[in-house]
Structure 1
Amino acid sequence: MNDVSPAIPASAEDRHATWLELFFDLVAVAGVAQIAHLLHGEPGAADLGLYVLLFLAFWTAWICFTLYGNVAGERTRARTVLAAMFGMAVMAAAVPGVHAGEDGQARALALAYILIRILANGAWRHRREILVDWPAAQMSLGVIPWIVSLWAHEPARYWLWALGIALDLYVTFTVSARDVIESRRAHDESRRSHDQREDTRSRRRDGMLPMSGAAPDADHLSERLGLFVIIVLGEGVAQMIEAASDATWDRRLYGLASAAFFLLVALWSLSFRHGYAGVPYLTARSLPARAALPLHCFVSGCLAALAAGLGAAAEHLDTLPESTRWLLCSSLAGYFLLTGIAALRQPDVVRRWLLSVVLPCCALPLLIAGFGAGLGTVAVVWLLVAVTLWPTFYESRRPRPVEPAARPGS
């Protein structure tokens, strides 16, 4: 098997995802579906905490190899990516067992995550590059608590996993890639000096390439991130189809299915027609990757939770349980809160827009969650549709700036 993945034919200026990358993203479909199922029924605080933890772990594993393929391009090692793909499939398959408290499946998930991170670290070491915008992709500090968790039981195991994710975020926002490069260079010099004294391997090491910084291809990365969000929105459709196949088809189900479809379409429009990389009101290069990537992760997490809530709503066509109502509404509120954060870097965003769009879109879902106990399921979802459509309606009614008249002869 060829160890370098062939790319879909494209010009250098119009690079798209390779067949290997698209195959790799199929694991994201399975993973998002499994993790979203944690929020079925009437999820409690423990279910929500486990959902957040496993989604962050799965997304972290996915982004490590998404960034590797982005930088490596046609030199991506197919065997390495396929091995990571297998590990992510193991993680996805172990999710139900983790939820059920099975020690064996929890250890399998942790071991798969550890091996994925080791593979990512090895891939970057082979390239002799440090990813400037996401150094956690090739650093093992956050993996240490996962290794310790192999000998732990719940709930200590979950706290160790959370510590590992927190350390990755700490590395992302505080560690300078320049410091990492200098540290690796100093380490290599020390090894070369030692080898020169010990054996003849120094000749081979003296030809080793020095460490260098690497930055992602912004357009290609945007496509991959957008594909992930499409997968998450597609999970919402899949949740509704699965729930509808087991329900009695009546007027309430028709109303809920229509409302859910309009809600997902409105979210798609905000994320892609009014956004970038699947994040609403984010513009190209308005944020550095180390800030935009966590934003993408949290937006995707909110959408996946919303998808799970839509699936649960089909099981309660009369009135939503309180936990499900809060899940739906708080997921949408979180989505719009992140939208406001993304929009802050746009030069034309003013305080009036934040007060007129972001604030009501965050507050109204929470009001529905808190005071909507007497509302029917279909009514709740249609109200969320109205909230989601408000930004588009506001933008359509907003006066456009008048273009200055061209001067004669210009």
Structure 2
Amino acid sequence: MKNFLQPPRLRIGEDSEEHRHATWLELFYDLVFVVAVSQLAHNLEEDVSLSGYLGFVFLFIPVWWSWIGTTMYANRFDSDDIGRRLLVALQMLTAAALAVNIHHGLDENAPGFALSYALGRAVLIVEYIRAGIHIPSARPLTTRYATGFAIAAVFWLISAFVSAPWRFVLWSVGIIIDLVTPFTATKFQLNLLPHASHLPERFGLFTIIVLGEAIIAVVDGVSEQKWDVFSVIAAVFGLVIAFSLWWVYFDNLGGTPIQKARAEGKVSTVATWLYTHLPLVIGIAGAGVGVEEVLLSEQTVALSDAGRWLLCGSIALCYLALGILHRLGVIRYCKIRSKYRVGTTVAVIAIAIFGKDLLPVAVIGFVAVTCVIQVVQDLYQSRPTTRLVDPEI
């Protein structure tokens, strides 16, 4: 901490954008979301069904948006002083409360979940108001954000005192307002685009958090099963899937969306990058639970429909999101890679449709092969000779 008290400062702009890494405080803050993602996965493990998956997604969105809110604020206005540290500590408390209330978050713990989310947004609103006071050039943006997030927070606060199903109607309205608020401030964002090196790193760190759940799923699944050849092979396939997803995501990650938005004068590129990460991380988290479901299944009996669709549907969602990111040039622009990602989406869905009689190890094996093909294709396309002759890279 360089100063005891200092106002928020503008951390972005072409003239001030030195290479920037996540701070120790940001990394410490992320630890709460490791727990939250773990709790979300635990909820899905208890109810592997369509309704269970929809509930998982419904709770995942506000958790993810809580992390996004703090991350986007820090990207633009971070300062290392006692006031900022105390505000982050409050945000960690609200995020921890959110994680505590995820279990039965759609039942008896729903009021606690709603209150935790609303309080977290209140802290973020205070931060934006504080930034607007000290940075006049950012005031139109911070005012718009503070107003939109405050309206959404009111809906969440009221929902804590209303019974279902109206509680969830208020949640839906609140989260829609939250998600739409940045679009109401697009004309103010162009001169305040996120930091080109810091934000991709932060998104990458959250992706690591959900990939970590896939690793935990393999460990938990193996530890709770009697070891046999099929179980060990299935566990290896689970690690292969996680490693392949890591490979194709991080090999294509960079600051291109922000640089492209700055060059073209379009904020939509950054918005596409941000919002397409939601299905990506949901898919990765769901895939982790799907892998554990495979490992906990009887290896000599066909995998259940629910388990097969959870694993295949989640992986398909990941590659569909990656295909969109490639095609729009939000991550490495490449039509060929986009086609391969979408092709894998179709292939994995086909496994879910036609793999009804397959053993668990066969299902996860076929999925792992489709993931490895993506890595091989990227390696092949990255050869120096390919880069020189292929106009679509």
TM over 0.5: yes
Distance 2:184 2:199 in 1: 22
Larger mean Cα displacement after TM superposition, 126-135 or 239-248 = 126-135
TM norm structure 1: 0.79
**How far apart are residue 393 of structure 1 and its match?**
2.4
**How far apart are residue 374 of structure 1 and its match?**
0.7
Q: Among 346, 363, 374, which residue is 1:380 paired with?
A: 363
Structure 1 match to 2:219 = 241
* Correspondence 1:10-409 to 2 at 5 A: 13-75=18-80, 77-99=84-106, 101-102=107-108, 105-128=109-132, 129-130=138-139, 136=145, 139=148, 140-178=150-188, 214-276=192-254, 285-286=259-260, 288-318=269-299, 319-346=302-329, 349-350=334-335, 354-355=338-339, 357-398=340-381, 400-402=386-388
Distance change (3 Å), C-alpha of 1:131 and 1:371: farther
Distance change (3 Å), C-alpha of 1:286 and 1:303: farther
Distance 2:275 2:236 in 1: 32
Distance 2:85 2:197 in 1: 22
Matched residue type, 1:377? P
Larger mean Cα displacement after TM superposition, 298-307 or 149-158 = 149-158
Distance 2:321 2:140 in 1: 25
Unaligned runs of 5+ in 1: 6-10, 182-211, 404-410
Distance 1:132 1:384 in 2: 44
Q: Percent identity?
A: 28
**How far apart are residue 242 of structure 1 and its match?**
1.8
Distance 1:121 1:313 in 2: 43
CA RMSD after TM alignment? 2.9
* Contact 1:3–1:78 (Cα < 8 Å) also in 2: no
Distance change (3 Å), C-alpha of 1:49 and 1:136: farther
**Of the two, which has the highest radius of gyration?**
1
Distance 1:248 1:289 in 2: 47
Unaligned runs of 5+ in 2: 8-15, 133-137, 262-268
Larger mean Cα displacement after TM superposition, 225-234 or 75-84 = 75-84
**How far apart are residue 172 of structure 1 and its match?**
2.7
Count of matched residue pairs = 358
Q: CA-to-partner distance for each residue in 1:74-127, whole Å, 9 max, x for gaps? A: 34601001101110000001111325x21xx21111111111111111101111
Local SS of the residue matching 1:400: helix
* Contact 2:91–2:120 (Cα < 8 Å) also in 1: yes
Distance 1:345 1:275 in 2: 14
**How far apart are residue 131 of structure 1 and its match?**
8.2
**How far apart are residue 230 of structure 1 and its match?**
0.5
Q: CA-to-partner distance for each residue in 1:186-209, whole Å, 9 max, x for gaps? A: xxxxxxxxxxxxxxxxxxxxxxxx
Structure 1 match to 2:12 = none
Matched residue type, 1:90? A
Distance 1:174 1:50 in 2: 28
Distance change (3 Å), C-alpha of 1:138 and 1:257: farther
Distance change (3 Å), C-alpha of 1:244 and 1:131: farther
Distance change (3 Å), C-alpha of 1:106 and 1:252: same
TM norm structure 2: 0.83
**How far apart are residue 137 of structure 1 and its match?**
6.7
Larger mean Cα displacement after TM superposition, 125-134 or 148-157 = 125-134
Distance 2:142 2:360 in 1: 43
**How far apart are residue 324 of structure 1 and its match?**
1.5
Larger mean Cα displacement after TM superposition, 85-94 or 340-349 = 340-349
**How far apart are residue 158 of structure 1 and its match?**
2.1
Distance 1:131 1:252 in 2: 59
Distance 1:311 1:12 in 2: 42
* Contact 1:286–1:345 (Cα < 8 Å) also in 2: no
**How far apart are residue 20 of structure 1 and its match?**
0.9
Distance 1:261 1:325 in 2: 17
